[in-house]
């Protein structure tokens, strides 16, 4: 039922309108009475009516003033002006307050029913529109985790489609101008897979970040990838420092919540989606460099330690992988493609 507030200083007028409404539109309205403008404002605050029928001339606060106050507090309410005169000045003021319906006393029952029927139809249409918008928003928020997983899979897979990745980034409101990757080198987690995934995702999204966004992949072939994504203006050091802090945080969380010592590999900061994919390969290698200790290993540190010539670390990323590392990455990519399908 809709709530109808009738504000008129004449009790017979209020009761007459209520009688007509109950007789001509049964089971449609719950009726609230107000005998002056002040009471109308109070009753509107208390009951939040869908429709307000307001007499222009009442003792104390006049009808237009009361309508203005009610409209300010309850902008969705439909307003009907009741007047004893077809006064243009009243009509002009009423229109400025959002009143598009008015009745001239004594109003015939057909006029009252016609006005209220139109407003009820408007209310139903507005409610239907709100329901549709809420349904779309709910579907959108349900799809956000899928979009996050998908963009992670794009950045992890062998071929990066910049356009498709850009569309997914737009949905998530994330930049992909530059970024770096972290990889958690998880051993077989068995039944703890969901617990591990939830712990990592919760910790990653709860981590403080001002200049970049975070994307978390699903758990694929005993590892999870995370991507820190920034704009062109994001400093490389901000991303690199953020990755180190996040890696430490995730290692602590998995140790405390899951009882796991997990090695964390961190790739270098790279530009665009293709470069971020390279950072992922670097992070994969770094995560497998020291699987015993379960600490943080940055590919950049491995490069510096290997000297200017660049040895196994650089060769791995450039394509001269040894059989073990190559098989690991290729198996992960096959599983990524299967998961995307």
pLDDT-derived band at 321, boundaries 50, 70, 90: very low
User: For residue 119, is pLDDT > 90?
Assistant: yes
**Fold of the domain built from segment(s) 2-107:** Rossmann fold (3.40.50)
Q: 287 CB contacts (<8 Å, ≥6 apart)?
A: 183, 184, 185, 223, 263, 264, 265, 297
CA 182 to chain centre: 25
Q: Does residue 70 come out as left (phi exceeding 0), alpha (psi in the -120 to 50 range) or beta?
A: alpha
Mean pLDDT of 62-86: 84
To which CATH superfamily is domain 140-340 assigned?
Reverse transcriptase/Diguanylate cyclase domain (3.30.70.270)
**The predicted structure's pLDDT at residue 54:** 86
Residue in 292, 299, 334, 305 with CA at minimum distance from that of residue 317 = 299
More confident residue, 311 or 306: 306
- Give Cβ neighbours of residue 298 (< 8 Å, ≥ 6 apart): 244, 265, 266, 286
CB atoms within 10 A of CB 152: 23
Percentage of residues in the chain with pLDDT exceeding 90?
A: 30
Residue 338: predicted pLDDT: 66
Integer Cα distance of 303 and 315 in angstroms: 11
Domain ranges of the chain: 2-107, 140-340
End-to-end alpha carbon distance in the chain: 49
Given this model, what pLDDT does residue 309 score? 43
**Residue 17's closest CA among 111, 142, 123, 118?**
111
Q: Higher confidence at residue 311 or residue 337?
A: 337
pLDDT tens for 149-200 read 888 888 887 555 666 777 777 777 788 889 999 999 887 667 778 888 889 8
The yes-or-no verdict on residue 147 having pLDDT over 60 is yes
The whole-number average pLDDT for the span 136-146 is 74
* pLDDT recorded at residue 320: 40
Length of the chain, in residues: 341
Contact indicator for 41, 69 with CB cutoff of 8 Å: yes
Q: When comparing pLDDT for 63 and 282, which is higher?
A: 282
Q: What is the mean pLDDT of the chain?
A: 82
Within the chain, residue ranges assigned H as helices are 11-24, 37-47, 63-73, 88-96, 109-156, 162-172, 193-206, 236-258, 272-289, 299-306, 312-318, 323-340
CA–CA distance, 68 with 323 (Å, rounded to integer): 77
Residue 102's pLDDT is 79
Which of 183, 181, 191 minimizes the C-alpha distance to 258? 191
Q: Which of 34-38, 137-141, 163-167, 217-221 has the highest mean pLDDT?
A: 34-38
252-261 pLDDT, tens digit per residue, is: 998 899 888 8
* DSSP secondary structure of 109-142: HHHHHHHHHHHHHHHHHHHHHHHHHHHHHHHHHH
């Amino acid at each position: 039922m809709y709530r109808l507030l009738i504000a008129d200083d004449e009790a017979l007028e209020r009761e007459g309108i209520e009688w007509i409404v109950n007789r001509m539109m049964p089971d449609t309205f719950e009726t609230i009475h107000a005998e002056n403008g002040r009471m109308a404002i109070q009753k509107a605050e208390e009951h939040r009516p869908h429709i307000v029928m307001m007499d222009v001339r009442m003792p104390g606060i006049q009808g237009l003033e009361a309508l203005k106050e009610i409209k300010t507090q309850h902008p969705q309410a439909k307003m009907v002006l009741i007047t004893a005169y077809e006064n243009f000045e009243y009509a002009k003021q009423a229109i400025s307050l959002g009143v598009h319906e008015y009745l001239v006393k004594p109003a015939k029952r057909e006029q009252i029913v016609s006005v209220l029927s139109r407003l009820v139809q408007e209310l139903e249409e507005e409610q239907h529109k709100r329901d549709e918008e809420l349904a779309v928003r709910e579907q959108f928020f349900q799809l956000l985790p899928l979009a996050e997983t998908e963009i992670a899979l794009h950045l992890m897979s062998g071929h990066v489609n910049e356009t498709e990745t850009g569309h997914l980034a737009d949905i998530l409101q994330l930049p992909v101008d530059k970024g770096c990757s972290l990889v958690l080198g998880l051993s077989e987690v068995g039944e703890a897979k969901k617990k591990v995934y939830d712990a990592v995702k919760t910790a990653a999204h709860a981590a403080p970040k001002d200049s970049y966004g975070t994307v978390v992949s699903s758990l694929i072939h005993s590892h999870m990838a995370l991507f820190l994504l920034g704009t062109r203006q994001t400093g490389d050091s901000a991303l690199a420092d953020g990755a180190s802090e996040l890696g430490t945080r995730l290692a602590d969380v998995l140790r405390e919540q899951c009882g796991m010592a997990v090695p964390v590999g961190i790739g270098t900061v790279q530009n665009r989606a293709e470069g971020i994919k390279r950072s992922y390969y670097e992070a994969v290698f770094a995560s497998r460099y020291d699987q015993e200790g379960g600490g943080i290993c940055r590919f950049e540190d491995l490069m510096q330690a290997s000297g200017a010539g660049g040895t196994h670390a650089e060769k791995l990323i450039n394509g001269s992988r040894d059989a073990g590392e190559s098989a690991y990455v290729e198996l992960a990519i096959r599983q990524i493609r299967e998961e995307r399908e």
